[in-house]
Every structure is written in C-alpha cells, then in structure tokens.
Amino acid sequence: MKLSDIQGISPAREKALHQAGLTTPENLVGFFPRTYIDRRTVLPIRQLHGNGEKVTVMGTIASVQESGFGRKKRLEAILRDDSGMLKGVWFKGISYFRNSLKKGEQVAFYGTVKRYGRFLSMAHPEVEQLSTGDDPGSSESDPGSDRFTGIVPIYPGNQFFKKTYITSGLLRKWALSVLDHTRFPEFLPDHIRNRFAYPDRHTAYRWVHAPESPDQYKKAIERFKFEELFLFELSVVTLKKTVFDKAPGIRMTNTSPVTRRFFNETLPFELTEGQKSALSEIKNDIRSGRQMNRLLQGDVGSGKTIVAIGAILMAMDSGYQSVLMAPTEILAEQHMHSLSQWLAPLGVNIRLLTGHQKKVLREDIQSDIAGGTAHVVVGTHAVIQEAIRFYRLGMAIIDEQHRFGVSQRALLRDKGENPHILVMSATPIPRSLAMTLYSDLDISVIRDLPPGRKPIRTRVLREADRPKVHRFLSEQIREGGQVYVVYPLIEESEAMDLKNATEGFDQLRIDFPQTSVGLLHGRMPSEEKESVMRDFTQNKIQILVSTTVIEVGVDVPNATIMVIEHAERFGLSQLHQLRGRIGRGLRQSYCMLMTGFRQSKEARTRLGTMEETSDGFKIAEADLRLRGPGDFLGTRQSGLPEFRYADILNDQFLLEVAKKSALELVASDPDLKNPEFNSLRRVFLPYLEEKKKFFRMS
C-alpha cells in the first residue's frame, strides 16, 4: 500500500505529507495526535457562568480584530456556537494569532472564563484548530467537522498541511484507512504485554487515532512509550552483558605502594564515605579482568579530584599511564596545577597537552608520552588527536563528561588496549537522564561534602541594595575574605543592556580604592590568566572581576563571597556551578544574585531555587524541568537517544519498568531463542545493530 492509494490523498497532498516526513502509510499511522478534545464534555457557551471556571468551548470564529493602543493594544476573536458567543482576548502574540485565526474556522478554546458586563471572555485561551470552513475535504463523515461527536484527536500543525487543507479530521480518516487495509504485527512478548494490560500493536494504533474513551488513548500511548523504552533498555542490557561487561580489561593487581603512601601519609584529611565507596568500586573494577566503564557523579566541591587521583595511582602502581581529558584549557590547567601539588612530591611525572602549545614543547610532550616517561597526561581534545601515541595507557579519565559525546569517549578508548574508563561530572544529572545518557556506564555517586563545609547563604538582591552589598564586601575583605564578581559579558554590547566585566572592573576600582581588583576573562592570553589567578590565590587580589571562565576548575578556598551580576540571565545549572567556586574553606560563604527590574516567570523560579537549596541534585531536577533534556545537556553531541513518543523527563516510571522487564528477559533467555520471541528478534536485532553504531562498536 502506498500513500497515493489512500482515498483523498492527491499528488499535492502526498507531496505535503512527504515534506512533513510522512512518506509511507506506516509513517502516517505513527504520526500521533498532540492532544484530544472530548466533545462529549464540551460545554455550550450558554451554560457558562463566567466566575473563573476552566472549560473547553467549541465553535466558529465569527470575527477577528485588533483594539486599543500602546500597552492596551489587544486582539479579540469572537467565538460562536449554537447557544451564544464568547470573546478570546490576547495581549501578547497578537501578530501570531491574527494570522492563525480566520473567520469561519472551526476551533476550540480552552481557558478560564470570566464575565465582564454582559460579555463572557477568555484571556489567552489555548486554541485548537479543528477544521477550516472552506476545507474541500470536510464532510459530515469527516471527524474534523463540527458535526462529529466523541473524542476528537488534534494532530500537530504543519506549514505544508495548511497549503493543501490537510486537517486533523483528514489525518485521522487516512490513518484509519491504513489500519483497515494493513495489519501491524505484535512483537512485545505476551507475558510482558499481559502484565501491563497493554493492547496488541494494531489495536493500540486504532485506540490512538479513534479512541472510544480517554482510558483507551491513554493506555495505547503508554504502550508505545513503553515499547520504545523497552527496546532501548533491552539493547543496553544486551550490550552490557555481551560487550561492555565482557570487554577484556587490564587487570591491575599490584600491591599499590604509591597509592597507599598517598592516602596513608600524604593526604592531610579523612576521605568522605562517598569518596571511599567510589574508590572501592574503582578498585574492584580494575581487578576484575574486565574493562571499567564508570561514571563518577558528584556535586561541586564533593572531592571527585581525589578519587581521580586514586584511580591514577592505582594504574601507575601497575605500570600504566593515565590521561585526564578536560573540555577547556583553563580547566585542564587547573587540573594540572592540582595534580602537580598532590603528586609531584611522589615522583609522578605529569605533562599538560593543549591545542595552543608551541611546536617544540608539543613535540617534547609527545615524545614523553610515547616513551612512557610521562606517567599522567592532562589535556583538552588534543589528547585524542591521531598524532598522540601512548606507551602503555591503562586509565582514561574524562572530566565534565556532559560536554563530550560518545564519539570522544570512544576515541580516547582507542588510545590503548581497552584502558579503564572513568568519566566525571560536576553537573548532577537526574536519574532518568543518567539511565539513558550513560546507559553503558556503571554509576558511582558522591553525595556528601568534606567535613567542615558550611552551606552557602544565597540571596536575590536588586540595584537598590548595592550600597548595602558594598558595605558588606568591605567588611568581609577587612576580615581577610576575597570576592568574585561575575558578569555575563566581557565588553559592552549594543544588543543587550548589561553591565560588562571591563566596565564593572573600572567601577569597582573607583568604589574600592584601597583594595586590589583584578580582571579575568576568556580572551586574555593563557599566561596573563595564570598570573591573575595566581595573584588571587595568593590574596594579592581581593576582588576578582570575571566572566564565566571561573565556572569550573578554579579553586580558591579563601574566596568567601560571590556577586553575580544580571543573575536572571544565567541558567540554573550555570548559577550553581558558579556558586560552587566559593564555600571551599571553613569560613561562612555568601552568594549575592544581583537582578534587574524585569524578570520572567522562569527567571524568578531559577533564582528562587538558588535561594532555597544548595543541593546540586535538587537543582538539576528543577533545571531539567525548566529546560527539558536537550537544553539541560547543552550539546547535540551529548549522546542522548531520541525517542519519538517517550519523554524521559515525565516517563521515568515507564523507564524503570522497561529496564526491569529487559533485565528479566535477558536473564531468562539472553539470545531470545525461545520461539515466543521470534517477532521480537526480527525487530530487535536491526535495532541492536544501530545501537552498536551509536556506541562505535561495529
């Protein structure tokens, strides 16, 4: 069956469907409604009281016009049904609704109804376009027409659909036509489908496009979400069992003299329970004979670096090199500084490799790495370039893993013969994301902070509070404290009216004439940045004006105050990362979020969250809900799988049960040899091959 075989799909409409990505009847059936309207419960306008009830009303657009001027300008659309009329009013998005609402169009309004005099009104109602009055495909049998009663599916809109009058009614009718002529076979095992009372696949499609009750479409859509998540989790469980967990790893079983010396004699503080647990898990991994693939997750300041040092020393004691890859040069330099402080006294040779080093130095470092005299290599993406050859790589560590993708991890793995992989993230990742993004990894979490750390006190302040803020800064500096002042820009921007770092630097030198003020930003040469940070670390600079280059990597325990200018312009995770630069010592620390007068609702939520909690995992959950998974990770190379129906944010329970079902199935029949699973095998094996490509294993 082809699209052109379906009654009502003309060549022009077929082209529009193709442009929307619907190229086959199967695609058409898999194109799900974005919402439903239950016309059985829609109220006639005459029955509305206008006392603030939330309702759905349906009717025909009688008129659309703009009214008022300036701030009082608005768009008004009159909706009529057989019993009366109601006015929809928009003060924002006027041009959009003016173009999308047409006289004679069949629509539904959903919102809060209020009465003003003798008029019923909805402010900013949600609008569902049901059909167009001049739609040549509309008829009494067309569910998109106003004569149809029951539960009406509303499909996602598309610019190509509008040009050829493809309505929700037509999409539904075409989907049902496909289902009448094509049988979609089942592949979920009966025992799983029966456990959750899911309909068979063909019935589920019919319940999606023509449900007889809300329970039907809810159950059908849940079934397709589970199906997606089950296939994904089944591939992960299979790959872990057959590839990841069986990948031969370097067995490290030496007596670990340097490791013991470091933790027993050199380290001046007691490890937290989280650090001890993570080190124990790493030790078990590298002694197991299989390749370690582990994520070390911990909040800012939780002590992940010490755990990484432990992994490096375990490798060194067994005669292997280690590499630590960071996303930026400034973070790589900070790691180099930290590792040198801890490990140089133990005779560990550490080399820094970045993309901007001079040729002579770079060649010397490459020779050191290839010859094996470099025990540890710290660097940026430069460490995975083809020219870099390791003598005997045994431990590969990736910091700020969310800034890298699966491919970079695979390239690092290729630098040795199955080196152990430890990836670290200072951005706490909610469990639902971790289960998908890092499905191939075992996870260690450090939830506790080093003893003696005090919670950072955070307050949202306005420009009127600035004199009070400056007095407080003066008091703290007199008591020996140091201050970060963070700006979102380096230099003045005509596009945004924001205070910038250079201007702020000049003003602070005037406001604090007896205080040393420094400036740090990403455009400065590396040597100059290092000089400024060295002076700040040594308390030669008391106020450091900076851009977000200090978001990660910079560690100055004496810095107790952070002032973030235009805090409403920063994301929640970024604010948390910035705040993590203070509170590293035993003194009380303070974070002041300076804001402008105008704030969006989302900005107020972000800033309120910062005031309420310093728990990175709670902040990550809030940020994920505000931004969604893609924006939360901030990169297309994040390795996040794409799901058509499932939402890993809102379907976490389904993700959990899908994983449990996959684990049970693989435990009972790893190769799916039971004849009961023949249909599943036919679908799953091609899917598994795609996942192997995703993880670069084929």
Question: pLDDT tens-digit profile of 155-182?
Answer: 887 777 877 878 888 899 999 999 999 9
Closest CA to 30 of 21, 40, 19, 38: 21
* Those residues with Cβ within 8 angstroms of residue 415's Cβ, 6 or more apart along the chain or in another chain: 323, 383, 384, 388, 390, 393, 396
- pLDDT band of residue 132 (cuts 50, 70, 90) is very low
What span, in angstroms and rounded, lies between the C-alpha atoms of 106 and 60? 5
Task: Give me the phi and psi of 675, to 5 degrees please.
Answer: -55, -25
For the chain, percent of residues with pLDDT exceeding 70 = 87
pLDDT digits (tens, 9 = 90+) for 327-373: 878 788 888 988 998 998 899 999 999 888 889 999 999 999 999 99
pLDDT digits (tens, 9 = 90+) for 635-667: 433 445 678 898 877 788 898 899 999 999 999
**pTM as predicted:** 0.65
Asked if the model's pLDDT at residue 680 lies above 60, the reply is yes
Asked if the model's pLDDT at residue 260 lies above 80, the reply is yes
pLDDT digits (tens, 9 = 90+) for 620-629: 777 777 766 5
DSSP 591: E
Report the pLDDT value the prediction gives residue 137, as an integer from 0 to 100. Answer: 37
Tokens of 74: 């608005």
Report the pLDDT value the prediction gives residue 628, as an integer from 0 to 100. Answer: 63
Report the pLDDT value the prediction gives residue 695, as an integer from 0 to 100. Answer: 58
Least confident of 47-61, 236-250, 646-660: 236-250
Report the pLDDT value the prediction gives residue 139, as an integer from 0 to 100. Answer: 37
CB atoms within 10 A of CB 30: 16
Whether residue 172 contacts residue 209, with contact meaning beta carbons closer than 8 Å, is answered with yes
Report the pLDDT value the prediction gives residue 135, as an integer from 0 to 100. Answer: 40
Least confident of 127-141, 456-470, 540-554, 657-671: 127-141
Report the pLDDT value the prediction gives residue 229, as an integer from 0 to 100. Answer: 92
- pLDDT band of residue 400 (cuts 50, 70, 90) is confident
Whether residue 614 contacts residue 455, with contact meaning beta carbons closer than 8 Å, is answered with yes
Asked if the model's pLDDT at residue 189 lies above 80, the reply is yes
Report the pLDDT value the prediction gives residue 76, as an integer from 0 to 100. Answer: 92
Tokens of 28: 């058409």
Whether residue 79 contacts residue 61, with contact meaning beta carbons closer than 8 Å, is answered with yes
Report the pLDDT value the prediction gives residue 694, as an integer from 0 to 100. Answer: 61
What span, in angstroms and rounded, lies between the C-alpha atoms of 167 and 127? 15
What span, in angstroms and rounded, lies between the C-alpha atoms of 285 and 1? 53
Average pLDDT over residues 260-266: 86
What span, in angstroms and rounded, lies between the C-alpha atoms of 361 and 78? 74
- The residue written with tokens 């710290």 in the block is 378
* Those residues with Cβ within 8 angstroms of residue 143's Cβ, 6 or more apart along the chain or in another chain: 150, 152, 153, 168, 169, 172, 173
Tokens of 479: 């008591």
Cα–chain-centroid distance for residue 310? 30
CA dist 565 → 88, 114, 460, 579, 664 (Å): 40, 41, 11, 13, 52
Average pLDDT over residues 574-588: 84
User: What is the distance in angstroms between the CA of the first residue and the CA of the last residue of the chain?
Assistant: 34
Asked if the model's pLDDT at residue 513 lies above 70, the reply is yes
Asked if the model's pLDDT at residue 581 lies above 60, the reply is yes
User: Cα–Cα–Cα angle for 116, 119, 124, nearest 5°?
Assistant: 75
* Those residues with Cβ within 8 angstroms of residue 195's Cβ, 6 or more apart along the chain or in another chain: 661
pLDDT digits (tens, 9 = 90+) for 203-232: 999 999 999 999 999 999 999 999 999 998
What span, in angstroms and rounded, lies between the C-alpha atoms of 40 and 21? 33
Q: Which CATH number fits domain 35-154: 2.102.10.10, 2.40.50.140, 3.40.50.1950, 2.60.40.10?
A: 2.40.50.140
Least confident of 8-12, 122-126, 474-478: 122-126
Report the pLDDT value the prediction gives residue 488, as an integer from 0 to 100. Answer: 83
Report the pLDDT value the prediction gives residue 432, as an integer from 0 to 100. Answer: 63
- Burial call 517-535: b when 16+ CB within 10 Å, e when fewer: bbbbbeeeeeeebeebbee
**Is 257-446 the same fold as 35-154?**
no
Task: Write down the domain spans for the chain.
Answer: 35-154, 183-246+657-698, 257-446, 457-613
Q: Report the chain's mean pLDDT, rounded to a whole number.
A: 84
* Those residues with Cβ within 8 angstroms of residue 145's Cβ, 6 or more apart along the chain or in another chain: 106, 130, 131, 138, 139, 169
Asked if the model's pLDDT at residue 409 lies above 90, the reply is no
Report the pLDDT value the prediction gives residue 494, as an integer from 0 to 100. Answer: 46
* Those residues with Cβ within 8 angstroms of residue 691's Cβ, 6 or more apart along the chain or in another chain: 232, 235, 236, 239
The domain made up of 457-613 has a fold known as: Rossmann fold (3.40.50)
What span, in angstroms and rounded, lies between the C-alpha atoms of 180 and 168? 18
Report the pLDDT value the prediction gives residue 454, as an integer from 0 to 100. Answer: 81
* Those residues with Cβ within 8 angstroms of residue 6's Cβ, 6 or more apart along the chain or in another chain: 25, 28, 174, 177, 178
- The residue written with tokens 């979102």 in the block is 488
What span, in angstroms and rounded, lies between the C-alpha atoms of 286 and 128? 58
Report the pLDDT value the prediction gives residue 632, as an integer from 0 to 100. Answer: 52
Report the pLDDT value the prediction gives residue 244, as an integer from 0 to 100. Answer: 60
Report the pLDDT value the prediction gives residue 164, as an integer from 0 to 100. Answer: 80
Report the pLDDT value the prediction gives residue 61, as an integer from 0 to 100. Answer: 94
Tokens of 477: 């500096």
What span, in angstroms and rounded, lies between the C-alpha atoms of 196 and 122? 40
For the chain, percent of residues with pLDDT exceeding 90 = 41
Asked if the model's pLDDT at residue 603 lies above 90, the reply is no
The domain made up of 257-446 has a fold known as: Rossmann fold (3.40.50)
Asked if the model's pLDDT at residue 40 lies above 80, the reply is no
Tokens of 301: 């300041």
Least confident of 462-476, 490-504, 523-537, 623-637: 623-637
What span, in angstroms and rounded, lies between the C-alpha atoms of 515 and 317? 48
Max CA pair span of the chain: 88
Average pLDDT over residues 52-71: 87
What span, in angstroms and rounded, lies between the C-alpha atoms of 236 and 655? 12
Report the pLDDT value the prediction gives residue 94, as an integer from 0 to 100. Answer: 84
Asked if the model's pLDDT at residue 38 lies above 50, the reply is yes
Question: What are the DSSP calls for 434-501, one per residue?
Answer: HHHHTTTSEEEEE----TTPPPPEEEEEEGGGHHHHHHHHHHHHHTT-EEEEE-S-SS--SSS----H
Q: Please provide the size of the chain in residues.
A: 698
pLDDT digits (tens, 9 = 90+) for 487-504: 987 665 544 555 688 888
What span, in angstroms and rounded, lies between the C-alpha atoms of 601 and 235? 40
Asked if the model's pLDDT at residue 672 lies above 60, the reply is yes
- The residue written with tokens 């089950």 in the block is 230
Residue 525: CA count within 13 A, CB half-sphere? 4
Report the pLDDT value the prediction gives residue 133, as an integer from 0 to 100. Answer: 41
Closest CA to 286 of 251, 237, 334, 326: 251
User: Cα–Cα–Cα angle for 187, 192, 193, nearest 5°?
Assistant: 65
What span, in angstroms and rounded, lies between the C-alpha atoms of 366 and 390? 9
Highest-pLDDT range among 237-246, 446-455, 648-657: 648-657
Tokens of 122: 């909805």
Phi-psi map region of 136: left, alpha, beta (phi>0 left; psi -120 to 50 alpha): alpha
What span, in angstroms and rounded, lies between the C-alpha atoms of 547 and 260? 40
